[in-house]
Amino acid sequence: MNHPVIPSFRYQIFFLIMLMALLNYIDRGAIAYASASILPEYGFDKADWGNVLGYFGYGYILGALVGGILADRFGARRVWLIAGATWSIFEIATAFAGDFGLAFLGGSAMAGFATIRVMFGFAEGPAYSVINKSVANWATPKERGFVVSVGLLSTPLGALLTAPVAVGLQTLTGDWRSMFVVLGVVSLALLIFFMTRFTNTPDENPRVSKAELDFLRKERAEAVNASTPTTSVAPVWHFFKNKDLLLNAVGYFSFVYVTFLLLTWTPKYLQDEFHYNLSSLWYMGMIPWTGACFTVLLGGKISDVLLRRTGNLKVARSWLAATCLLLTTLCFIMVSQAQTVWGVIALMTLANALNALPNSVYWAVVIDTAPSNRVGAYSGMTHFIANTASFIAPMLTGYLTVRYGYSSMFVAAAVATALGMSAMLMVRPGGRQAAPSPIPAVV
């Protein structure tokens, strides 16, 4: 029997969301490849550079916290428009951040970078909360895990593509400032195109066919009928009364720490320790992210297989994450002792791949444990706590490398992942759903 083909305009929306997430990540990581030009121009040292990289995180955690709340209140489309336009503008403004500080902020180039980077981080912060909101509105419950996993791929893939894009733009234009201008303009152009296609829900979109709408409504109705509604609404602050959610946030902190460490400091490290120039960084900066592009898609599936075979959420979630973090810790300890560039790169790649594998697990724990009508808010709290690493990692690394050398940044990463491992061993996910599918989210 032949089944009718259901039109799938929603997959165009999912693809555009992935492109927006990719550009979001490239925009935030590009500055790492401009260090060789920015540091001597403004007289910054490595500790100053750590601050420049870390200021982004202060704004980012606030944007991440409010992004989902604003999307719930005003709709994902409006938040996409405002956030996307704002981060594009501040990406362009990064080109002139130092001069802005010299001219208007008491002659301090650092103050200029601090102002622009904090605002840029705040504008980029809502992106992944809005991605989850958008997917929740557009995807059927059966395909939601896969679709968000594709969005999750934007983290390592965006970081991987940052190297050739950032180096290529600087090489073609011969100017680090032009890189930020081009990236900001491209982000604005994609946003405008995205806005011509995207609506808050499929029902509002004239491009969605009646057959596809009927299919989506049927799938959602079946999911609602199969679920147990939750009527009481717990206060948001009840998140802090649940030790499992707090420990899970510490586990996710370790993932974010490694991600931002490698995203922000790998280029400078390779330049200083192994004397790579800009023309070589485009491929060397890509390598540590190659394995993570695959393992990030495997984690949710492995967790689901473990859950089906053992029926034990602790094994499928907590032990899986703790095992990966243990192996990541061992890799970073070995990186700190490696002497050759290829030994360092191979171990960094393996560590990053292992670190990325349980990414979806942290978000599955929230779904397993939180009340169904508080999953969004509790996910936002998890995101907020974990992303303190987005400024701690680059700033701490700047301090450590000045005092103790580059090997100390890998020791610090090992400490962070060991802390995450210890936390995840103590997490006992709740059984709110019989067999919940992991719905991952990204940094």
Mean pLDDT of 368-387: 79
Q: Any idea which residue has 């955690």 for tokens? A: 61
Q: What percent of the chain has pLDDT over 90?
A: 67
Asked, for residue 230, whether it belongs to a domain, the answer is: no
Asked, for residue 3, whether it belongs to a domain, the answer is: no
| Long-range pairs, 105-114, Cβ under 8 A, ≥24 | 109/42, 109/43, 109/44, 110/42, 110/44, 110/48, 110/51, 110/52, 113/52, 113/55, 114/51, 114/52, 114/55
Domain that holds residue 102: 10-225+238-425
Q: Would you state the pLDDT for residue 376?
A: 64
Q: Would you state the pLDDT for residue 145?
A: 62
Taking the C-alpha atoms of residue 333 and residue 335, their distance in angstroms, rounded to an integer, is 5
Q: Other CB atoms closer than 10 Å to residue 211's CB: what's the count?
A: 12
Of 31-45, 63-77, 388-402, which range is least confident? 63-77
Asked, for residue 232, whether it belongs to a domain, the answer is: no
CA atoms lying within 13 Å on the CB side of residue 236: 10
CA 118 from centroid of its chain's CA atoms: 17
> How sure is the predictor about 280, in pLDDT bands with cuts at 50, 70 and 90?
confident
Give residue-wise pLDDT tens across range 119-141: 999 999 988 888 878 887 898 87
* Type of residue numbered 176: W
Q: Would you state the pLDDT for residue 51?
A: 96
> 29 vs 9, 104, 269, 299, 336, CA distance in Å?
31, 26, 15, 24, 23
Mean pLDDT of 141-167: 83
Q: Would you state the pLDDT for residue 441?
A: 44
Mean pLDDT of 137-166: 83
Q: Any idea which residue has 């394995």 for tokens? A: 291
CATH number at residue 302: 1.20.1250.20
pLDDT surpassing 70 at residue 204 = yes
> How sure is the predictor about 295, in pLDDT bands with cuts at 50, 70 and 90?
very high
> How sure is the predictor about 336, in pLDDT bands with cuts at 50, 70 and 90?
very high
Higher pLDDT, 376 or 235: 235
Give residue-wise pLDDT tens across range 179-191: 999 999 999 999 9
Higher pLDDT, 376 or 387: 387
Asked, for residue 87, whether it belongs to a domain, the answer is: yes
Asked, for residue 339, whether it belongs to a domain, the answer is: yes
pTM of the model: 0.87
Q: Would you state the pLDDT for residue 75?
A: 87
Taking the C-alpha atoms of residue 139 and residue 15, their distance in angstroms, rounded to an integer, is 12
Of 2-11, 95-104, 132-141, 152-161, which range is least confident? 2-11
pLDDT surpassing 50 at residue 408 = yes
Taking the C-alpha atoms of residue 126 and residue 2, their distance in angstroms, rounded to an integer, is 43
Higher pLDDT, 221 or 192: 192
Asked, for residue 419, whether it belongs to a domain, the answer is: yes
> How sure is the predictor about 1, in pLDDT bands with cuts at 50, 70 and 90?
very low
> How sure is the predictor about 224, in pLDDT bands with cuts at 50, 70 and 90?
low
Give residue-wise pLDDT tens across range 80-134: 999 999 999 999 999 999 999 999 999 999 999 999 999 999 999 988 888 878 8
Q: Would you state the pLDDT for residue 229?
A: 53
Q: Would you state the pLDDT for residue 373?
A: 64
Q: Number of folded domains in the chain?
A: 1
Contacts with 159 (C-beta within 8 Å, 6 or more apart), sequence order: 25, 29, 259, 262, 263, 289, 292
Asked, for residue 278, whether it belongs to a domain, the answer is: yes
Asked, for residue 442, whether it belongs to a domain, the answer is: no
Residue 129 tokens, joined: 């909360």
Would you say how long the chain is, in residues? 443
pLDDT surpassing 80 at residue 272 = yes
Nearest of 163, 357, 176, 174 to residue 264 by alpha carbon: 163
Mean pLDDT of 358-370: 83
pLDDT surpassing 60 at residue 360 = yes
Mean pLDDT of 348-356: 97
Contacts with 382 (C-beta within 8 Å, 6 or more apart), sequence order: 245, 248, 249, 252, 362, 363, 366
Q: Would you state the pLDDT for residue 152?
A: 77
CA 219 from centroid of its chain's CA atoms: 29
Q: What percent of the chain has pLDDT over 70?
A: 91
Taking the C-alpha atoms of residue 428 and residue 68, their distance in angstroms, rounded to an integer, is 26
**Mean pLDDT taken over the chain:** 89
Taking the C-alpha atoms of residue 409 and residue 174, their distance in angstroms, rounded to an integer, is 31
